[in-house]
Structure 1
Amino acid sequence: MLPSSLLTKLNQASEGGGYLGSLLMGLTFSLTSFACVGPFVGTLLAASVQGDKLQPILGMAFFATGLATPFFVLALFPSYLKKLPRSGVWMMRVKVVMAFLILAAMLKYLSNVDAVWQLDILTRERFLAGWMILFAAPAAYLLGWLRLEGIKPEQEVTIPRLLLGVFLLSFSLSLWPGMSGASLGELDAYVPLAKRTSGGGGGGGYAALPWKKNDLAGALAQAKAEGKQVFVNFTGYACTNCHWMKANMFPLPEIAAALGKYILVELYTDGTDADSEANQKVQES
């Protein structure tokens, strides 16, 4: 990481206006935001080495355009630099709130690693408990219940602070039903799924369906013995779309009834074990 003093000097130099000021502002922005754009750019670079050409080209074109447009406009009209809002107490509040939100995002990425490696540390209950804390904390801060830098005890709660604080607190409390395995709707795509016992059961919805995990041979043998067809679901431990399907589509009564006519098997393709490698070959065949 670069020293904060260096970034501060670059930021102060960028306030001078003109073409040099715009360039320095762009340099400062690039240095401070590199960690934020890394996941996006990294995904595009990974796609480029996997043979996909169009997606990386379009992705980088849109990314570069979006990143460069503000600085291009400011370079054409340097006087607008003086009209930009100055940092102050409000900026400290933004930093505090964003710090908690970034920690929540970090927990999400850690849950993906936990799922792929099958460590079973960040279970659904632990993950949701962490998110409840990380969203309730900035709410308490904005509402004046949690004393941190940026808000003095004698300051009144403004309408924007009240609205944002209530929103974050409401979101935190809305996660509570998910602790007991209840559906969280669209949000289920981003949180760990409820655990199920082998062969189905152990909860409702997707967990109640008798899926065989990474056992295509066993599913084929059972299907032959029972005279049924096999329904193969290629899925992933960290697949957002897969989680959404499991939480919101497969549990629908009409879908569950249709799936009941098949022998169900789910093949995970994004793990680090031999089963995932074998499932990838089956998917590609």
Structure 2
Amino acid sequence: MSRHLLLFLALLVFTTRAGAQFSLGGGGASSEASLVSEATTVSQGETFTIALQLSHPEEWHSYYKNSGGVELPPAIEWKLPDGFTAGPIQWPVPEVKDGYFGKSFVYSGSPVFLVDITAPSTLESGKTLTFTANASWQICKDSCINEDKSLSVTLTTGPRTEVDPAQQALFAGARKSQPVVSPKIKSSAHSEGGDIQLRITDPGITGAPADFIPNERFAQPASAGGSITHDGDAWLVTLKRIKIDAFENAVPQGTSISGILTGAASFAIPATAIGSPPAKPLPFSAYLPILGGMFLGGLILNLMPCVFPVIGLKIMGFVQQAGSDRRKIAFHGVAFAVGVLVSFGVLSGILFAARAATGAGAAATGWGYQLQNPWVMFTLILLMFVLALNMFGLFELGTSATSVGGSLQSKQGLGGSFFSGVLATVVATPCSGPFLGPAIGATITLPAVQFFSSFTAMAIGLSLPYLILSIFPDLLKYLPRPGVWMESFKQAMSFLLFATAGYLLWVYAGQIGLDNMLGPILGLTAIAVAAWIYGRWNLPHRPRNTRWIAMAFTVIFAGGGFLLAKPPEKSALVWEPWSQERVDALLAEGKPVYIDFTAQWCATCQVNKKTAYTKEVIALMKQKGVVALKADKTNPDPKIEAKLQELGRTAIPVNVLQVPKKDAVVTPELLTSGYLKELFTKEIPEKK
């Protein structure tokens, strides 16, 4: 069936429904509603339950909180005595019904909706209190009717809460109709080819589940083209997504899924973050370039100035330890290679554990997915940037390689050669060449076997020259002599790493938003200052006090740079584009408007954004119904310029609060959260 036909049918149905809603009683169909309290007397600080009971006409039904379509679920607006608070509606398990455009989740007969009410701790005994619920709901058959009713129940207060025996059966049945909330339920979810796969584990789930009813609009039930299969000790639920509704409007796709797993017993499944499928092995043809890149990167480490000069020293140390026995020399070379392999195994294990902790690997959906995670991106930027600074010569790590190599000559036995391989790894890793950037970036998403195999290839690349030279020590005379060319080579390689860091920073800007890029730019600058201080003053020939001070400033600048550059928390404040027409429309609706005249090149504007709009300020703006508009003059805009002239301002930042039937308030240039809270509280009247 085409979308246009679906749209026509939807319009036809809703025309029918609209006619029913405005007819006298919708052809006689009408629900009965009542408000029932489980308690007759309530006491201070106690929680009791009130039920909204509906009784629908035969063959008519109301809807679950996710109707499955565009229908409206029951809602309650409470009017409670002072100090009382109401919890959310507790929803019974709905039926799954075929509708015009798919599955609907409905209640027929007489559904009961429970709400917990909590009394204040200062409640006095001997009072009579009235609890009012303005309830609304929609019932449908071939057409739909919107119904509402104001209901109330009167209770007394006393020293203890007393339950009404006459209502025990009603409330027991209502609770039995709700899904079981089990603390033992464990769930995980990921996207798989557009579908959602939900894995649910609970030893209390017996028998095969019948269906899964989602709480979110973007998911269909398992019975609508999905499936429920047994997978080990878990149930694997596959749900189809709803991306476009009946009117061809895009359905927002959430980041978590929850719902009800129905069956012999129904279980409430808590909100579960939707990740992405575990990393899948790459085909060998795609994996081979990564393996080759890691191996080549390991080989290139031997050309770094911190490693290359000691190759000969290490091999000659093997020769001296083994005398003229070439077999023993080869054993020393093997022991050295094993030391390198073990060291890389430990380092890659740490990286794999860190990847698992951040979910980078588990979130991989395909090639390059790691670039979708701001924290992975941030880590790669720091890695590439710091390595580039190191290779350029701003600071040096591993400068004691030569002395390490010399000291290893004095160590005896295969254990000394093994330890030599461990230290070679420690010395070489800070000199990672530019070939390792892309290779490591690709390796980070691979499953365990390919992940560790890649780092093993890198370890083999680093240790292979030593192994070959220990087997054929006569080849030492063919090695090029260390010289100035090695420093030039290292600095030339640094520019490739700077370019990689720049590319990653560009992607990072797309993730965190251009408005937040000042922090990473200043943060990377601070990290570069930290590297310069470390490389300039934390040197062996410097006095101890100088080195301690240098380390302190290194930590301060590096830590501050990290905090500035890390991914920011997503702001709950949503800015709409400014236009005078939008302002006029909002004011005509009675809504207050807050306008920020800003630009990317305005440093004070960026400071205001970072410091003034705290969580408390944003919550107050939402409470007051403030609509935030951004007038961005990063590029010339005649309309913004004209508005600024009207306000008597020529420079930005300019922030303006406009409240209906009041004069506009222009704020000071530098904002604080305290000023904004006072401004919104004073200028915007409370909602009635």
- Output the TM-score relative to the length of structure 1: 0.39
Query: Which structure shows the bigger proportion of residues in helix conformation?
Result: 1
- Output the TM-score relative to the length of structure 2: 0.18
Question: Greater CA radius of gyration, 1 or 2?
Answer: 2
